Structure 1
Amino acid sequence: MKTLVKLQALRPIWNPKPFCNSFHKDGRAFASLNLSEYEAINRCEKEVPEHFNFANDILDQWSKIEKDGQRPPNPALWWINGKGSEVRWSFEELGALSRKAANVLLDPCGLQRGDRAILILPRVPEWWLLNVACIRTGIVFIPGTPLLTAKDILYRLQASEAKCIITNDNLAPAVDSVSSSCPALKTKLLISEGRRDGWLNFKELFQTAPSSHNCVKTKSDEPMTIYFTSGTTGSPKMAEHTHSSYGIGCAITARYWLDLKPSDIMWNMSDTGWIKAAIGSVFAPWLRGSSVFIHHMPQFDPRETLNTLIRYPVTTMCSAPTVYRMLVQQDLTSYRFKSLRHCLTGGEPLNPEVLTQWKKQTGLELYEGYGQTEVGVISLTEKGKKIKPGSMGKPAPPYDVQIIDENCNILPRGEEGDIAIRIQSKQPFCFFTRYVDNPEKTASTFRGNFYITGDRGWMDEEGYLWFVARADDVIISSGYRIGPFEVESALIEHPAVVESAVVSSPDPIRGEVVKAFVVLSQSFASHNAEKLTVELQDHVKKITAPYKYPRKVEFVQQLPKTISGKIRRNELRKKEWGQM
């Protein structure tokens, strides 16, 4: 990262003094960005513009505001790795660097507007740089977690027909092992020092790339990004989003849930492969002109996290409940956070006890939100408003969230049913457009005039939403969505396994974890159960992403099935959660 780090010396060290309040009172900068208009669009009070590009219409505008001295001098991107390396980019620098990166993608990578590129990187500055570069060029980017295996990468390359893959030297061997089976793949771009046969080197190309680039005038409804999301059956689906769905669709979330201002520094800890990173680490904070803070920790470390909050002026923190569950196990009363004022959580249900402990030990509230890859943030607890421990807050504009039965009847307050979003004359612009190449799956998410989230819940008399369970068998562990089919498919490849059923199981730290019920073949029936469990766990880690492996394994003689022979995962799940 020598080339990129060197450029941060072009600007002075950030001075964390309070910024002039007149910025917020007269709203000059916000007015020049039309943020109030974007919020009106978000509420469906105004039409979505024909053209929109986040890089041109938001980031470049903040760059101009920054030049005019109408924004605090904190960086647009502030990256550290805990080992002494640090990167700080202003909006002006982010713009200049992303234009050079855009030219790398166009030539010599040979990509064009509408082409698809898979981006698999950890929390390094280049991930943000290339997100913006793809937006500038109209290239459809497909983020992926660095935990993906060769099999996962092969599936994503073949399903998406991506022409380019961008990753580092950790995953390059896995890509090389499957690339010959991916005829659409034309370019492999390496974000690491040194060279590798068959790969273009981003750092070398970046140094000589032209600095000027004219941003593509993308239509608001033009595809911008695709996220692979796990389901109950089959392989992950490709949820496609447009340029406006996140770029404008985060306006309400950014203001009322995240409560962001240009003087804020937001630390969102989500993995780069998940939609939470797009919302909390790109679109929402930069829409509001806030600073995006990143601490590149290979593995989560609660003490390092707390020490970072002591040393750096992070004002806003967002992470999965699992992180807070681990943090409250520390002696938080011995820590004095430098600037932290607003804490958020989402991605999985939050235990009321964790919320209570966090408030008791830090004096800070935890504001919960609830959303999905397909539709973004569905409900939120607005900053300063009443918090109900265990609730996911109230519906977020523009969504009309209702609890319905199987016949689309809206249920009375307090009754459990399907959490659904009512569709009026047309679906909200911030929805995903489709599951790519899967019209049947796309159609299955709609029932009458409702989009079905796949979650069960209820709404109280004050309009607060309460989560009960997934309506399907998807497992949500530490904020990661895990489809049981993927784990079962990996297990069946082991010679010891005749068949298996994978369900969620309660866990005090992760909320829920993967549990596998396994029927063994006769030749393995006498094997040591403890050793075989470890062997099966290691096998799954090799076959699919490591976070999907079953942390619990139970060997059984048979699995409960329907008359037609389908495994009754629901029965196993209920038994596991003590509901039978």
Structure 2
Amino acid sequence: MLPQYQRFDTFEDFRANYAVNVPPAYNFAFDFLDAQAAQDPERPAMVHVGPDGARRELNLAFFSKGSSRMAHAFKAMGLGKGDKVMIVLQRRVEFWLAVLALQKVGAVPVPSPHLLTAHDVEYRVNKAGIKACVVEEDFMERVDAVAAACPSLKCFVRVGARSAEGRWLAWEALENAHPDAFPRPERAAGGEDVSFIFFSSGTTGMPKMVVHNHNYPLGHITTGVHWHDLRPGDLHLTVADTGWGKSIWGKFFGQWMAGACVFTWDYRGKFVPAELLDVISKHGVTTFCAPPTIYRFLIRENLADWDLSRLRHCTTAGELLNEGVFHAWKKATGLTIFEGYGQTETTLQIAAFPNMPVKPGSIGKPCPGWDIVLLDVKGRVCAPGDEGEICIRLGDGKTVGLFDGYLYEPEKTASVMFGGYYHTGDKAWMDEDGYFWFLGRNDDLIKSSGYRIGPFEVESALITHEAVVEAAVTGVPDAERGQAVKATVVLASGYSPSPALVKELQDHVKRVTAPYKYPRVVEFVAELPKTISGKIKRAEIRAKDEGKTSEPTL
């Protein structure tokens, strides 16, 4: 029988009474998947739509049996407890099977994005000591190019139609060669054992290796049951690539534990908003999560052209939601967008939930189980209205969903876990009602003429102008002000850089937000520098601008 999770009518009750039950030596693949599949094998688990548009409906038995077959295969290849395995599979069904199979043998999945270069592969394999890789057929050459320089890499599995050759083993042959059941080993991985390594997106410096243990999935009950508001029968779509932690947030543990069915759209190539709307409408998606950028593209479409009547709940995370997008989406669909905040190092920390009033522009309130405070530069708890760093108080018991540290880098772990807190490096302020308002990374804040300006505030104002597709706001050296606000802008089709447009954008910001925040420097570019996870690399813009004056540029 599906575990029954208590629902709460008010956020106050939720905050006061919600608790996570952590069984000893918990292992999701055995304790949830196999257990649930034994009781209800036909329960829908995934609707998968491939690049060719073909729809597959897969149940719990499919994932239980398939992961067991691959667990036998991985064990036969010599993989065992603690061995690290890079997975590059985009949104293929095999991604889920691989993760679950590795949990069963005790090996550690290292999800990785398809956009990695051969150099990236070499860095990550050697940094983490990765022993095996399971990759898309069109990714094999990138691994082959650096395999000789990666002494820890011993096992190679490809997924796809290409024939396996040389060092490469074919997924299909491996899966078909083994039985459907994989009994739980006497010393199976679980509990505090390592279950995942995520490479952070690396907006500043090289990416860090974030370690989570086997209790990590239980932290996503809050995500799936309470934030996504999922129930049995729901069909949930999170737009995220499997190479990043956000896919685990929205396409895996919390959704299945809530009894919902995961909708996976394996699109390849450039994102087309109309195609996403087609998929939501055609397949009857009921709950939806996407970064604000996706919502910004969707509201530019004529949403009345699609039947979104089965869509009932929407969430967003990954960056800050512009208030204009919030209102435009609600006007077109009648649906509120519930914002959430977290990191690769955590599960959901702060969020707007269905059992609380939503304040557009706020990331909500701290989730149950997370003791969150804002600390000033002297380590003092901030009063309402004062900005500070988002920090998590480290009590005697481990916060379920908080990472264990950075792999092989105790000094980096110590740099964020000290004084009884985990320091996120993110700035926010809290209002009198306990709602948090995100300001940005510590390094991203702009100090101009005594004011402290968060880049999101200005970016939010800029993208409400029809000429602006994207904007990144940074500080540029200024002799009088210390720093001046600079906007790096990507223009919409039909607009061209000009002094008149600079003035128009500056005046627009003055009208939308506090006038002192307007960008004194505006630069137009074809695209913004981003990490492979899509996050803006403001540090790269700042580095390019070192030594420049605050004269307007085009």
> Is 2:19–2:368's contact at 8 Å kept on the other side of the alignment?
no
- Is 1:443 the counterpart of 2:430 in the alignment? no
Residues 253-276 of structure 1, C-alpha deviation per residue, up to 9 Å, x if partnerless?
222111111211111111111111
> Is 2:204–2:539's contact at 8 Å kept on the other side of the alignment?
no
Counterpart mapping for 1:10-409 below 5 A:
29-31=2-4, 48-67=22-41, 75-81=44-50, 83-107=52-76, 109-193=77-161, 194-216=163-185, 217-231=188-202, 233-245=204-216, 247-298=217-268, 299-409=270-380
Q: CA deviation at 1:75?
A: 2.1
> Is 1:40–1:46's contact at 8 Å kept on the other side of the alignment?
no
Aligned-partner SS, 2:280: helix
Aligned-partner SS, 2:35: helix
> Is 1:513–1:550's contact at 8 Å kept on the other side of the alignment?
no
Matched residues in 2 for 1:468 and 1:575: separation? Answer: 26
Aligned residue number for residue 386 of structure 2: 415
Residues 270-305 of structure 1, C-alpha deviation per residue, up to 9 Å, x if partnerless?
111111101110111011121010111113211011
Task: Give ranges in structure 2 of 5+ residues lacking alignment.
Answer: 446-460, 478-524
> Is 1:242–1:432's contact at 8 Å kept on the other side of the alignment?
yes
How many residue pairs are counted as aligned between the two chains? 481
Matched residues in 1 for 2:390 and 2:535: separation? Answer: 26
Question: Structure 1 residues 215, 380: closer, same or farther in 2, change over 3 A?
Answer: same
Question: Structure 1 residues 327, 537: closer, same or farther in 2, change over 3 A?
Answer: closer
Per the normalisation by structure 1, the TM-score is 0.76
Counterpart mapping for 1:466-481 below 5 A:
466-472=437-443
Question: Structure 1 residues 300, 371: closer, same or farther in 2, change over 3 A?
Answer: same
Letter of the 1:559 counterpart: E
Matched residues in 1 for 2:59 and 2:15: separation? Answer: 28
Aligned residue number for residue 7 of structure 1: none
Q: CA deviation at 1:545?
A: 4.8
> Is 1:147–1:547's contact at 8 Å kept on the other side of the alignment?
no
Aligned residue number for residue 9 of structure 1: none
Q: CA deviation at 1:46?
A: 6.8
Question: Structure 1 residues 63, 441: closer, same or farther in 2, change over 3 A?
Answer: same
Picking from 559, 572, 575, the partner of 2:546 is: 559
> Is 2:19–2:369's contact at 8 Å kept on the other side of the alignment?
no
> Is 1:515–1:550's contact at 8 Å kept on the other side of the alignment?
no
Letter of the 1:258 counterpart: H
Question: Structure 1 residues 41, 228: closer, same or farther in 2, change over 3 A?
Answer: farther
> Is 2:194–2:211's contact at 8 Å kept on the other side of the alignment?
yes
Question: Structure 1 residues 265, 467: closer, same or farther in 2, change over 3 A?
Answer: same
Question: Structure 1 residues 545, 100: closer, same or farther in 2, change over 3 A?
Answer: same
Q: CA deviation at 1:547?
A: 5.4
Q: CA deviation at 1:360?
A: 0.3
Task: Give ranges in structure 1 of 5+ residues lacking alignment.
Answer: 1-27, 68-72, 475-504, 518-535, 561-570
> Is 1:232–1:472's contact at 8 Å kept on the other side of the alignment?
no
Matched residues in 2 for 1:40 and 1:555: separation? Answer: 42
> Is 1:41–1:48's contact at 8 Å kept on the other side of the alignment?
no
Matched residues in 1 for 2:364 and 2:254: separation? Answer: 19
Aligned-partner SS, 1:267: strand
Letter of the 1:361 counterpart: A
Matched residues in 1 for 2:363 and 2:381: separation? Answer: 19
Matched residues in 1 for 2:539 and 2:378: separation? Answer: 37
Question: Structure 1 residues 42, 175: closer, same or farther in 2, change over 3 A?
Answer: farther
Question: Structure 1 residues 206, 249: closer, same or farther in 2, change over 3 A?
Answer: same
Residues 436-494 of structure 1, C-alpha deviation per residue, up to 9 Å, x if partnerless?
110010011124122111111101111111001111359xxxxxxxxxxxxxxxxxxxx
Letter of the 2:253 counterpart: F
Aligned-partner SS, 1:171: helix
Q: CA deviation at 1:51?
A: 1.0
Question: Structure 1 residues 511, 466: closer, same or farther in 2, change over 3 A?
Answer: farther
Question: Structure 1 residues 82, 362: closer, same or farther in 2, change over 3 A?
Answer: farther
Letter of the 1:29 counterpart: L
Question: Structure 1 residues 221, 509: closer, same or farther in 2, change over 3 A?
Answer: farther
Q: CA deviation at 1:557?
A: 9.8
Aligned-partner SS, 1:112: coil
Question: Structure 1 residues 460, 297: closer, same or farther in 2, change over 3 A?
Answer: same
- Which range moved further: 56-65 or 269-278? 56-65
Matched residues in 2 for 1:131 and 1:452: separation? Answer: 29
Q: CA deviation at 1:132?
A: 1.1
Matched residues in 2 for 1:152 and 1:47: separation? Answer: 38
Letter of the 2:67 counterpart: S
Question: Structure 1 residues 549, 153: closer, same or farther in 2, change over 3 A?
Answer: farther
Residues 88-131 of structure 1, C-alpha deviation per residue, up to 9 Å, x if partnerless?
21111211111111112111x22112111010111111111111
Q: CA deviation at 1:506?
A: 7.2
Picking from 454, 457, 481, the partner of 2:425 is: 454
Question: Structure 1 residues 331, 415: closer, same or farther in 2, change over 3 A?
Answer: same
Per the normalisation by structure 2, the TM-score is 0.79
Aligned residue number for residue 435 of structure 2: 464
> Is 2:201–2:532's contact at 8 Å kept on the other side of the alignment?
no
Residues 505-530 of structure 1, C-alpha deviation per residue, up to 9 Å, x if partnerless?
9764456499999xxxxxxxxxxxxx
> Is 1:240–1:433's contact at 8 Å kept on the other side of the alignment?
yes
Question: Structure 1 residues 364, 556: closer, same or farther in 2, change over 3 A?
Answer: closer
Aligned residue number for residue 498 of structure 1: none
Letter of the 1:98 counterpart: S
Matched residues in 2 for 1:154 and 1:41: separation? Answer: 44
Question: Structure 1 residues 554, 228: closer, same or farther in 2, change over 3 A?
Answer: closer
Matched residues in 1 for 2:535 and 2:526: separation? Answer: 10
Matched residues in 2 for 1:166 and 1:126: separation? Answer: 9
Question: Structure 1 residues 513, 439: closer, same or farther in 2, change over 3 A?
Answer: same
Aligned residue number for residue 513 of structure 2: none
Letter of the 1:263 counterpart: G
> Is 1:254–1:287's contact at 8 Å kept on the other side of the alignment?
yes
Question: Structure 1 residues 516, 96: closer, same or farther in 2, change over 3 A?
Answer: farther
Aligned-partner SS, 1:454: strand
Letter of the 2:2 counterpart: A
